[in-house]
Copies of this chain bind each other. A is one copy, B any other.
């Protein structure tokens, strides 16, 4: 956790947001990540997403079971989703989403929005052509050698 916090402090000096994350397996650091949204021009470049992407490349697997993540701040829903998709087992965090809100980051708002029904969210959401879209899912069912994750 001290490493994640040090990264979050260092990243401010490097022109990024105050967030750092470290992926660990069997007590060893696999990867680190910092927030590079503005510097990389990438709204998905949060510390946790970056650390997970790097760990997957390094371990050559999209399944990070057996790994833990240390993040200087409680992850936003995007990063928490990434943690689930990567099958990370355990998460340690320093600051809370309320702390993030206090310095101007939208995490709490996005948590609230995700909990709403799509029709009540601020992002207008409309279903289109479900009868056509389902064809890809039907085709997927018939793929025999697919890789599950």
Interface range, A side: 35 or more
Neighbouring B residues of A8 by C-beta, 8 Å? 133, 136
| Chain B contacts for A140, CB-based, 8 A | 12, 17-18, 103
Q: Which of A107-143 contact B (CB under 8 A)?
A: 109-111, 113-115, 118, 123-130, 132-137, 139-141, 143
Interface residues of A (CB under 8 A from B): 1-2, 4-5, 8-9, 12, 17-20, 37-38, 41-44, 46, 49, 52-53, 56-57, 60-64, 70, 72-74, 76-96, 99-100, 102-104, 106, 109-111, 113-115, 118, 123-130, 132-137, 139-141, 143, 147-149
Docked pose: A19 CA to B149 CA in angstroms: 14
Q: Which residues of B contact A61 (CB under 8 A)?
A: 41
Q: Which of A12, A37, A44, A110 has the most CB of B within 10 A?
A: A44
The quantity of this chain's copies bound in the complex is 2
- Return the contact of A141 from the options B2, B103, B109, B149 (Cβ within 8 A): B103
Give Cα A113–Cα B85 distance, bound, in whole angstroms: 12
- Contacts A103-B137, A111-B114, A128-B93 given: A143-B12 contact, CB under 8 Å? yes
